């Protein structure tokens, strides 16, 4: 496969940007090789600067549930750009999107738009601390909530200990306000609340962890978390940046039947444009400036183009209800791969999110619930398969511990072709 132009552009990029990219995983560091510089995209396909085409299952890391350049969304965006693409003032487009979301999700009584999932999480944590007068946040090891300082931490050496920094530049003092408990360990969760419950402002969780592989919670874990949070006066925050409007129109809050106090969104609500949002109980959102004392602002927040793209995307999802079809197609992929490899490759999946697992997990039920339960050779096997798939025209997430996505632009033929290619790639 010719990659000369991508190689040249990557060399130039490394001279002017850290690692040559603007988000680390794009550099292919996890899988090695030359990152493809993408030139165009439409439907289920992307094309790079060397003229290579790929069936894309990364889908911009999840926002493009309707595929690339969906015609309805594109039409709305073109009209929005013709009207002007940034106002720095009150406008009706964010109002329409806010009314649509709050009108269809009963646990989102008010919402504030920002520019990224990280910013949404950072702001939700600030609201939680203001509302409770407490400083500590409880999170799960293996869940990712953006790169705000207090979320870039990992658990200490003992059960329910204070966290230690997971990135240079995060101070020990900031990390000390975050409690980290392991996934798939209800006893550790109970111990954390028993030891520190009266100091926890909020517990934050990915209701389907999807940033360190796809790590589904066992039955009852989310309900236990909700119960412990409310019993101890802590707020419950669902981070639905990935799962919101993807696992179903109501996301995991709707599927689980659990009403979070605060919820964070991103990705799909901008239709592929930069966006984030935090919402929830009216009394909590009324703490945010200018209504209340919690300061948060953003020059480009509620960008009218992103709001228009998001509204067009959500209205189409609401109208067409593609979730059953997406889940069936993802299940088709999983069944074909498992059947053709005798279970040597498993596709862990939830709705339209999937993750190839190479080998046998160490868990009792054969499902990877924590990073430690992944097969020992996962990284190496995925790396080998990734490049073989790439050479055959399939683009998955360039990391053995990141998920991929199905969109409405994919067909059963795409799923079947990817299954065949995965079988060949695994040898």
Tell me the C-alpha distance between 68 and 318, whole Å. Answer: 19
Catalytic annotation present for 267 = yes
Q: Are 69 and 77 in contact (CB under 8 A)?
A: no
Instruction: Report the length, in residues, of the chain.
Output: 427
Q: Which residue is it, tokens 């900031």?
A: 174
Please give the DSSP secondary-structure letter assigned to residue 215: -
Q: Which residues contact 34 (CB under 8 A, 6 or more apart)?
A: 3, 6, 7, 10, 28
3-state helix, strand, coil in the chain (%, to 5): 40, 20, 40
> Among residues 48, 70, 141, 239, which one is catalytic?
239
> Among residues 184, 267, 316, 323, which one is catalytic?
267
Three-class secondary structure of residue 262 per DSSP: strand
Catalytic annotation present for 184 = no
Q: Are 93 and 85 in contact (CB under 8 A)?
A: no
Angle at 395 between CA 415 and CA 213, to 5 degrees: 80
> Among residues 50, 56, 70, 144, which one is catalytic?
144
Q: Are 142 and 134 in contact (CB under 8 A)?
A: no
Residue 74 burial (C-beta neighbours within 10 Å; 0-12, 13-18, 19+): middle
Catalytic annotation present for 382 = no
Residue positions annotated with a catalytic role: 144, 239, 267
């Amino acid at each position: 496969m010719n990659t000369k132009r991508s190689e040249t552009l990557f060399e130039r990029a490394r001279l002017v940007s850290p690692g040559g990219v603007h988000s680390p995983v794009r550099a292919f560091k996890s899988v090695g090789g030359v990152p493809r510089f993408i030139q165009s995209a439409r439907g289920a396909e992307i094309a790079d600067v060397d003229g290579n085409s790929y069936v894309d299952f990364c889908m911009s890391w999840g926002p493009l549930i309707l595929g690339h350049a969906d015609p309805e969304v594109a039409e709305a965006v073109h009209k929005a750009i013709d009207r002007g693409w940034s106002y720095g003032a009150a406008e009706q487009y964010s109002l329409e999107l806010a009314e649509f979301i709050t009108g269809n999700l009963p646990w989102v009584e008010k919402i504030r738009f920002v520019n990224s999932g990280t910013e949404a999480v950072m702001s939700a944590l600030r609201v939680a601390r203001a509302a409770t007068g407490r400083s500590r946040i409880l999170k799960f090891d293996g869940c990712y909530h953006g790169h705000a300082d207090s979320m870039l931490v990992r658990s200490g050496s003992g059960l329910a200990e204070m966290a230690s920094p997971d990135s240079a530049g995060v101070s020990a003092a900031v990390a000390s306000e975050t409690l980290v408990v392991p996934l798939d360990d209800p006893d550790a969760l109970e111990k954390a609340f028993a030891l520190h419950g009266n100091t926890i402002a909020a517990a934050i969780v990915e209701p389907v962890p999807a940033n360190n592989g796809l790590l589904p919670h066992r039955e009852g874990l989310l309900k236990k978390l909700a119960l412990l949070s409310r019993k101890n006066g802590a707020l419950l925050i669902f981070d639905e940046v990935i799962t919101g409007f993807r696992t179903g129109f109501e996301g995991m809050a709707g599927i689980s039947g659990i009403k979070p106090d605060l919820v964070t969104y991103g990705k799909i609500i901008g239709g592929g444009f930069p966006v984030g949002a935090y919402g929830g109980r009216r009394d909590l959102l009324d703490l945010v400036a200018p209504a209340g004392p919690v300061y948060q602002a953003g020059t480009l927040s509620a960008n009218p183009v992103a709001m228009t793209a998001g509204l067009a995307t959500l209205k189409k999802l609401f109208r067409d209800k593609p979730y059953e079809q997406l889940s069936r197609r993802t299940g088709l992929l999983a069944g074909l791969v498992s059947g053709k490899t005798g279970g040597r490759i498993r596709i862990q999946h939830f709705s339209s999110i999937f993750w190839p697992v190479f080998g046998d997990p160490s868990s009792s039920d054969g499902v990877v619930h924590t990073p430690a339960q992944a097969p020992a050779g996962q990284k190496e096997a995925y790396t080998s398969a990734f490049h073989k798939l790439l050479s055959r025209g399939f683009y998955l997430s360039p990391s053995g511990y990141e998920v991929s996505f199905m969109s409405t632009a994919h067909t059963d033929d795409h799923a079947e072709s990817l299954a065949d290619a995965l079988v060949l790639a695994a040898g």
